[in-house]
Amino acid sequence: MNRNPRGPDDRRRNPLGNLQRPGCSIWQVVFWIALILLVAPLLAGLFGTSGVTIDYSTFKDEVRAGNVERVTVTGQQIDGTLSEPRETSAPGQEAAITYTDFTTYIPAFGDEDLLPLLEEQNVVVQSQPDTGFPWGTLLITAIPTLLMLGLGYLFLRRMSSGGEGVLSMRKSGAELYNRRQEQTTFEDVAGAHGAKGELREVVEFLKNPQRFQRLGGEMPKGLLLVGPPGTGKTLLARAVAGEASVPFFHITGSNFMEMFVGVGASRVRDLFKAAKEASPSIIFIDELDSVGRRRGAGLGGGHDEREQTLNQLLSELDGFKPSTDVIVMAATNRPDILDPALLRPGRFDRRVTVDLPSLRDRVDILHIHARGKPLSDEVDLERVARGTPGFSGADLENLLNEAALLAARRDVDAIERQDIESARDKVLMGLERENVVMTEEETSTLAYHEAGHALLAAILPHADPIHKVTIVPRGRAMGVTQQMPRQERYIYPREYMLDRLSVMMGGRAAENLVFDTPTSGAADDLKQATQMARTMVLQWGMSEQFGFISLGGDQQEVFLGEQIAQRREYSEQTAREADQEIKMILQEAYNNALNLLRENRKQLDDLADALQEFEEIPGERVAEIIGVQAKAIDPL
């Protein structure tokens, strides 16, 4: 499946754009804080008290001694002047302070004897009204408070304007498809003919509803795209957005989830409200399984926030007030874990399967992705498509991109066949491990191991043709025998599976035949062979003992609770018999491989010697060394 590259007009919103508007910079904030710290002491001195503050008892003793000349009373505060200066020690200072002006305060319980005492000593008493408000204290405390409030306001405003703040938490976050910035159509999608037909009908329904309504047809409410990762489900949705002439809202399922309960359901309501106001319209929810999983699954029950979100989604799709003129499209690669209520007719009426591309589809996909990439004349895209069975559209795109990077690294003008081969090996097996140094014994063992695989693949009638054999370490593999399918297979006969098992056992059989000892190099071969034999016995009915019984093997449960509570439908005795049957199939495959290698020992030695000399041999050369005719490949 092709992914249409974005053009130069594809502009994404800058996530830092909300921080680049005019406003207070960090240096301005620092300046104001420093200014407050400098001015605060001045304000304290300006609005504070004058003179020295003395105790009230000391003040009365001075009055009785006739040393007080005049006083000014302002509320509870008394400011006065002494006739003779006095000395006092300030806290934290050793030297005494001489003062004449002083300040003291009348106790809260009052003093009725003070005024008669002042009149008796002929002290001049002046009274001033109390203002009742401490302006100095207010300025000292209010300015920092206002500053902090201002900074908090700026922070909240910028957070909310960026779409991630508390004020915008309940918004859906869905984006409206902009046809001016990017235009993807069905012509940009290779393969998936059935899926494109279903989606074209939806687009036609939106453009010309009378054509279907005259026969009583109704607009489908939901359409679910199902398929493995990378097969082009999102690309098909973009093609619908480009073809349809109605508003197209797109969002991922994880955008509904939030740590606060009720936020997801609110976002669902907000999304459908916007879609209804713009109806007829389309909503596309990618990765639906993140919000649409079965409710109440697992050991500890369900996730409250996710289940509330799912309940709201179910209600909006087909509830008491169902959405009209709004089509909901969704995509997932895990339909087995979706809630049954989500899949019933009336909600998702159609399920469109987007499977891995066939051989013809892979050729078309490669042609699309090869646009703008100069290919040399020796590059055969049909051969590349044959050598990539099981590749998705995304894998094919990545394959050609890696080939282009490798060609650019070699500083050539066109992508050559070796670039695509190297990119294929890199995608399938990983990078070449150049720092691996093996002894002659290890190299010989590895060469015979891969020669055993290659020899059996060449002489067994139902085995796939050999693409190439290599003993160059890549990724976790020390060597690989690559086979190219003779034709596209959808049904596997028992004879094909048995020959495939014999090819897998060829490496271990060669080790025992030549060196008379097994090695750890067959670990992955044994794992894959055991899994294949188990599937043949438990699921495909390819066992003589069990015949047509399916024991439901290899069922992978999604939730731990379901796996624990699952009841096995066969007894322990049947399980032991199944294990014996699997062992017997693997033993037959190994014996067949060992006998064939023993009969063709000279060809095995010649192929192992060639691998030690050249490290990598193409499939045609393998056939020449063994002395057999290379297997023909069915034409397209």
Q: Is residue 452 within 8 Å of residue 593, measured between CB atoms?
A: yes
**What tokens were used for 142?**
């209010």
How far, in Å, CA of 160 to CA of 169, rounded? 9
Amino acid of residue 451: A
Burial status of residue 94 (CB atoms within 10 A of its CB: 0-12, 13-18, 19 or more)? exposed
The 8-class DSSP code of residue 550 comes to -
Which positions ≥6 away from 431 have C-beta within 8 Å?
474, 475
Q: How far apart are CA 619 and CA 383, in angstroms?
A: 13
Cα dihedral: 530, 534, 535, 541 (round 10):
140
The Cα–Cα gap between 132 and 80 comes to: 21
Contact criterion met (CB below 8 Å) for 230 and 393: yes
Q: Rounded to an integer, what distance in angstroms lies between the CA atom of residue 126 and that of residue 81?
A: 12
- Give dist(CA 407, CA 418) in Å, integer: 9
Quickly tell me which residue has 């087909």 as its tokens. Answer: 318
Structure tokens at 266: 């609110």
Q: Which is nearest to 446 in space by CA: 299, 607, 564, 584? A: 607
Give the type of residue at 128.
Q
Q: Is 249 strand, coil or helix?
A: strand
Q: Which of 421, 450, 511, 581 is catalytic?
A: 450
Half-sphere exposure of residue 543, counting CA atoms within 13 Å on the CB side?
26
Residue carrying the six token digits 């996730």: 303
CA distance 184 to 238: 6
Quick one: DSSP state of residue 487?
S
Phi, psi angle pair for 253, to nearest 5°: -60, -30
Instruction: Classify 97 as helix, strand or coil.
Output: strand
User: Is 421 annotated in the active site?
Assistant: no
Q: What is the DSSP string of 385-452?
A: HHT-TT--HHHHHHHHHHHHHHHHHTT-SSB-HHHHHHHHHHHHH-SB-TT----HHHHHHHHHHHHH
Q: CA 62: distance to chain centroid?
A: 82
Return the number of other C-beta atoms located less than 10 Å from residue 250's C-beta. 18
Task: Report helix, strand and coil shares of the chain as percent, to nearest 5.
Answer: 50, 15, 35
Beta bridge partners, 353, equal 226
Name the strand (E) or helix (H) holding 549.
Answer: none
Positions marked active-site: 450
